[in-house]
Structure formats: structure tokens, C-alpha cells
Amino acid sequence: MYTIEQTKKYQAETVELLKTAGKKISAKELQHLKEVLRFHEHRYYILSDPLISDFEYDQLFKTLERTEAEHPDWITADSPTQRVAAGITTNFVTVEHLVPMLSLENSYNADDLLDWDRKARELSKLTEVEYCVEPKFDGASISLIYENDLFTRGATRGDGVHGELITTNLKQIRSIPLSAAFSRYGIQQIEIRGEVLINKDNFKKFNEKLAEQNLPPLANPRNAASGTLRIKDPKEVGKRNLEAFLYHVSDYSLISGKKADTALQSHAGCLQMLWDLGFRSPVKEKKVIKGIQGVIDYCIDYEAERDKLPYEIDGMVIKVNDINIQDRLGMTTHHPRWAIAYKFKARQATSILKNVEFQVGRTGSITPVAKIEPVPIGGVTVGSISLHNEDFIREKDIRIGDSVLVERAGDVIPYIVKSLPELRKNNVKPIVFPTNCPVCGDKLYKPEGEAVWRCPNMNCKAQVVERIIHFTSKDAMDIRGLGEANIRNFFELGWLTDVPSIYTLPYDQMAKLEGMGAKSVNNLKEAIEKSKSQPVHRLINALGIRYVGETTAKVLARTVTHLSDLRDYSIENLLQIEDVGAKVAESIYQFFHNPDNIKMIERLEALGLTLKRSGISEITGNLSNLTFLFTGTLTKLKRTAAEELVEKNGGKLLSGVSSKLNYLVVGDDAGSKLEKARKIPSINIIDEDAFIKMTGYGIL
């Protein structure tokens, strides 16, 4: 709809108009401003490809609102303030929402909230307003209709007035009940709103699957959720484990002769009703607070905990709790006056791509790494970002000198969402992929059907160093003190030449190195010696066999009594092992039929490493399918030992308190996790002794 020329023109005007924030503008500038806003709405709602941040959009929109308030005669029927953005992509059948799905006004700090509260108090004529505060879920918004207690229609937000009909896809989401007894509340038909999400774990797994198929990962859970909702095959939707939070009743009609239930008189009441009817509504996450100061505090506290949640949120939503007062406040054409979003610090930023370096991994894979002008995102400065592979670069049309949009969502690693060719100057250069290994110079090759170029030289210095780094890492042999810097240094000195050389380091000479006191040498020696008795599953993981991570390593360790047994396994034998598919079996087979690897394993055994499974089975399975989290200081067990005990017994560790948690094990001086867990009745809170008993290791 917009040509490249127009896009460039509007982008340039955006920059100029942003400078007018808070200033008076002329009628002519106002005309430009409206066009620019329409352009950005099109980028956002139609193309799902915004060129500016929400904050920048809001600044422009506020200038428009303010100017129109000052000059009501300048308002035109087609002003962005006079309508909800129009037009949608029409892949699915289009339906009209019973009530338009408005968006929310945004706020970014305490002052914005204080201003908003002042207006709410003025309009409601109250000295203090009661608010309901809840997370702003970062997913895809949906609208559901229930009639006579049955789920009859589900739609995407679309342009706010019309959405796409996706009932069948939504029925695949388990947290959306197919029927719900609204009649108990006197309701005949109801329209409710919510957000579809994919949690961080599932998102990670989904991206891992894409990587296995050599497809580039999705940028963030939000894209994964909205993309999944539009898949044509509902079965595929079902496999993606989407979740839905329902947070708003937008419309309802009553069964004749019935009166509206009192639950419908407040927002918190509506959330409770939805919860009671089997929906996932944020009843536990929300807080009802009188006065704005408590609201501000809750928002700030929640932001600090943001990364611990299993799903992404991008802010909080503050709603006037009393529905009568909501009605009194009403809405503008764009958003309700009774609600506002409080946006957390941005996790996206634009930067310039300065250069691309090519790194060699431990399996010889060549990864292009973008070096960007460092930018702060969500409290961390980002300067290097993986570009995955050549296809990724080509698909996203990324060039050196380009402006790039960078995202760092939660614990997801930084990611280039896209380049912004609209802002491209003449001096951009294409990214040229090397034909030879940047470290050893060998000719690179690309196996058929794979996206990654590889260096074929097993003895390539980069590969050897990366293998040693992986071997010593926390999830592998966990040799503290032998960090990346030391490994590189010892390699240059000729002390480290391969993995077994870790166990023959010259400690006397090491003590003479600058900055390496006798104490640190001794600590390192102890750590290296200790690693010799690490359980065999850690050693298997440490060997860095392609496609064999922690989980498969544990399965293999359970299967064999001695690591070298794997030499005798045929592909067919390997395929019998649980979770081992064709690709993994092939890789294990190749590894154990490579004479260099066999020699290495024999040397490791001669050096005293444990290659045998310990005599008594460590696995009792007592904790299988249960989830655990530890908080505070344990007195009998080390935290790591306790965590290992969970895994050995078939349990799973979670990283934060959520409704998925079965047991919170509480040590001394437990803090916020305990408080949070107390609010979730399904969590069992136990002490260390009870935990030890559960594991069946009473003797510990």
C-alpha cells in the first residue's frame, strides 16, 4: 500500500514530528501528523511490522490529541483519534466484535500514573479511587463469545472492530473451557477478552525444534503465539501448548427475568467469576488497591520479579475496579478512560550493525556474529548478537551499516528482529560469508539439507579450545576456576592441547604465572581432581557429542554400565534407547567409531576419570513428575546437591514460583519466593528434613 519512497518520507517526517512533542504545531503540521500516524497504524496493525516503538507512537498520538483539544475546529472525520484503526489481513473469515476491542493508553513512570489518577478522581468526583492492578500479558489478544453456557465463537483482535474467526484453533487451547456455567450468574450471552501466550519453556523448546530443522528461531513468544493462532491446521495448534489468560468482560446480556449477579459489579468480581467458571483469569496475580501510590509500588515490585515468571509480560494494567465508575468515566474513541497500561522498560532498541565476525564452534559450525553499536536493553548493554546462519541473514536482508531492531526478551538471548531497509543509506555493504575457516583456513563445507557451514578440521584450534571450554562448563564436568580466559591462555602456552591434557597441567609452572597465586593454583588443582569422580552422565555430556545434551546423556548413562560399552552399540541398538531418534543414534555411532575419540576416552580412564555407572542405582524415581524449587539457606545439604537429588529421583526443578510448582523447599532466611508461594494454595511448602525424607535418602 505504501511505496518505499512514501515509507522513507513518512519515516523522515516522524523524526521531525517527534521533536514537536509538548510544543504547539500548525494546522499544516497537524495534517502531516495525521498522515504519519495512519502510516504507522498500517505498519503495526496490517503489516505487523512497526517502524517505531510504542512510546514514540504514543508521543505522536498525544501531540495530535492535545492539538485537537486546543483547536476543536481542526478535527476531521478521518483523524486517527476519530476511529479505531481500520483494515485487517483476510486469511480467515472476518467477524465483528460485539464491542470494539480498544487499545489502552500507555504510561511509563510514576508521574504518568499520578496524572492519570488525578483525571480519574476529577471525572469520578471521588477523593480516592479503588483500582485493580494485574499483569499486562505479552501475547496475542482474543475475544470469546459464550452463549447458553457454550463457547460459540472466538476471534483475533484484528483491527479492533473486526477480527478473524479462529474458534477451532482456540478450542485447541486447554485453558479455554468449551462450556462454562454463565447461566449461574444470570448470563445468556457474554463476550470476554484475553491474551493467548506461549510460556518461556515451550517457546524455547519450539525454537530448539526449529533449529533442529535448520530453521531460524522466532523472535519472541508474542510472535510465536500470534503466528500459531493463524495456523490453518488446528492439530498443529494443539501441539504448541498455548495458554490463555482471560481478563475482561466486554459485553453480556441477561437471561430474561434474571438480574445481573453482584460479581459483575466490579472488575475483581468479574475475574473471580471467570476463575470460578474454569477460566485462567489473573485472580492470583491481581491486586485491588485504594489510591494510586499503592498501585505505583505494586507495578515497581512486579517489574523486579518479571524475569521469574514463566511467561512474558510487558507491563501492568491498572483498571478502575467499580464497573459503575468505569461507566461514568467512559472512553475516548481510542481507549477507555478507566484503564491504563504501565509499560515496563523496553526490551527492544534500534542500533547500527557495524561488522560481522565468524565464530567456529566445538563441532566446527561457523556462526556469524553481529557486532552492533552497543545499546542498553532492559538493563543490559548488548553489543554482540548471533545471526545463526547464512539463510537467516539472507531472509532478513541484513547488511553491514544497516539499522537493526534488537530484542532481548526475558531470559531469551538477544536477537535481531529485523533490519530496517527503509532507513538504509547508500553506504551499506552485503555480508560476505567466508569460504575458508577463519581460524585454520581449511575449506568450509555445508552438509546437504543443513543451513550451517562447517570447518572439517577436528584439530582446528578453535574447535579444540571450544571443546575444552564445553568439557569444563557448569552443566558438564563443572571445573570451577578453569574458565574461558584460563583455557585460552593455557592453550597458547601449549599446556592444553586436547581434553585429556586438562588432567596433566603443569601446576609448578602455573604458580609462576602473573596473577596466579599458590592458593588459586591449589584450588584449581583440587577442582580438576574432584571432577574425576563426576558421575558418568556429566562426562557423556562433556564429550560434546553432537545432539547429545544433558537429558540424552542421562539416558545413556542409565543404559550402559561402562562408557566404552557404547562402542559395541549398533545404530539399531541405539534406536532402542528411549528418546534416541535416527539423527542422535547416527551421531553417537559415529562418535564411538572414531579412533581419535576412543583414544581420548581410554586416556581419560587411565587418568582416573569415572567411566562406570556407580554400583547402586541413584534413581529411586520417588519424585517423578513433581516440581521443586529451593529458597533460603539449606543446612544439611548443599543447594546444588539438593537440586541434583531432585533430578536423580525423577523430579524437575523450576526457576520461579508459579502454579506449576508442587514443592517449595524452605531453608533459613527465605524471602520473597516463600511469600509468593503462600499465595498459591496448590504449592506444598516443606522444610529440608521433609524434603530429604521424600527422596528416600533418610541417611543423609
Q: How would you class 18 by CB atoms within 10 Å of its CB: exposed for 0-12, middle for 13-18, buried for 19 or more?
A: middle
**What is the distance between the alpha carbons of residues 238 and 49, in angstroms, rounded to a whole number?**
26
Residues in 110-169 at the binding interface with ligand IVH, rule: CB under 6 A:
134, 136-137, 141
Contact indicator for 238, 160 with CB cutoff of 8 Å = no
C-alpha distances in angstroms, 502 versus 524, 525, 529?
A: 11, 10, 10
Q: How far apart are CA 159 and CA 400, in angstroms?
A: 36
| CA-based nearest residue to 637, from 688, 696, 694, 684 | 688
Question: Any catalytic annotation for residue 125?
Answer: no
Q: Which is closer to ligand IVH, CB of 64 or CB of 196?
A: 196
Instruction: Find the distance separating the first CA and the last CA of the chain, reported in whole Å.
Output: 70
Q: Please report, as residue ranges, which positions from 175 to 214 form the binding site for ligand IVH (by CB under 6 A).
A: 193, 195
Contact (Cβ atoms closer than 8 angstroms) between residue 130 and residue 290: yes
Q: Which helix (H) or strand (E) holds 194?
A: strand 187-197
* Closest listed residue to residue 245, CA positions, set 217, 204, 277, 280: 280
Nearest to 336 by CA among 314, 320, 315: 320
- Residue 336 or 667: the one with the smaller Cβ distance to ligand IVH is 336
Q: Which is nearer to ligand IVH, 10 or 311 (CB)?
A: 311
Scanning residues 334 to 373, which ones bind ligand IVH (CB under 6 A)? 336, 339, 341
B/e letters for 530-565, b = 16+ CB within 10 Å, e = fewer, are: ebeebbbbbbbbbbbbeebeeebbbbbbebbeebee
The answer to whether 633 touches 640, Cβ cutoff 8 Å, is no
Nearest distance, CB of residue 314 and ligand IVH, angstroms: 8
Length of the chain equals 700
Q: How far is the CB of 528 from ligand IVH (least distance, A)?
A: 51
Nearest CB to ligand IVH, comparing residues 116 and 137: 137
Q: Tell the smallest beta-carbon distance from residue 316 to ligand IVH (Å).
A: 8
CB of 244 to ligand IVH, least distance (A): 11
- Cell 586416556 appears where? 603
Q: What is the nearest approach in angstroms of ligand IVH to the Cβ of residue 85? A: 12
The full DSSP string for 669-680 is T--HHHHHHHT-
What x-and-dash track marks residues 74-113 binding ligand IVH by CB under 6 A? ----------------------------xxx---------
Residues in the interface with ligand IVH (CB under 6 A) total 15
State the nearest-atom distance from the C-beta of 693 to ligand IVH, in Å.
Answer: 41
Other beta carbons within 10 angstroms of residue 576's beta carbon come to: 11
Closest to ligand IVH by CB, 136 vs 538, is: 136
With contact defined as beta carbons under 8 Å apart, do 346 and 378 qualify?
yes
Task: Report the residue number, 136 or 396, with the smaller CB distance to ligand IVH.
Answer: 136
User: Can you tell me the distance from the alpha carbon of 129 to that of 321, in angstroms, rounded to the nearest whole number?
Assistant: 8
Within positions 38 to 57, which residues make up the interface with ligand IVH, using CB under 6 A?
none
Output 265 or 573, the one with its CB closest to ligand IVH. Answer: 265
Distance of alpha carbon 182 from alpha carbon 573, whole angstroms: 56
Exposure of 427 by Cβ count < 10 A (0-12 exposed, 13-18 middle, 19+ buried)?
exposed
The runs of H, that is alpha helices, within 330-444 are 390-395
Half-sphere exposure of 658 (CA within 13 A, CB side): 16
Chain residue at closest Cβ approach to ligand IVH:
141
Least separation in angstroms between residue 434's CB and ligand IVH is 44
CA nearest neighbour of 637 among 603, 665, 615, 617: 665
Residue 239 or 345 having the CB closest to ligand IVH: 345
Residue by residue, DSSP assigns 472-494 as: HSTTTT--TT--HHHHHHHHHTT
Q: Which helix (H) or strand (E) holds 112?
A: helix 110-124
* Shortest Å distance, C-beta 34 to ligand IVH: 21
The residue among 596, 538, 590 whose CA lies nearest residue 563 is 538
Place of cell 485487517: 88
**Nearer residue to ligand IVH within complex by CB, 140 or 393:** 140
Comparison of 402 and 407: residue with beta carbon closer to ligand IVH: 407
Nearest approach, Cβ of 359 to ligand IVH (angstroms)? 38
When asked if residue 317 is in the footprint of ligand IVH (CB under 6 A), the reply is yes
Q: How far is the CB of 405 from ligand IVH (least distance, A)?
A: 19
For residue 100, the minimal CB distance to ligand IVH (Å) is 9
- CB closer to ligand IVH, 216 vs 282: 282
State the nearest-atom distance from the C-beta of 193 to ligand IVH, in Å: 6
Considering the candidates 136, 319, 554, 673, report the single residue annotated as catalytic.
Answer: 136
Helix (H) or strand (E) holding 5: helix 4-18
Q: Which is nearer to ligand IVH, 34 or 193 (CB)?
A: 193
Dihedral sign, CA of 379, 380, 381, 384? negative
Alpha helices in 318-377 (DSSP H): 323-329
d(CA 491, CA 468): 10
Catalytic machinery residues:
136
For ligand IVH, the binding residues (CB under 6 A) are 102-104, 134, 136-137, 141, 193, 195, 247-248, 317, 336, 339, 341
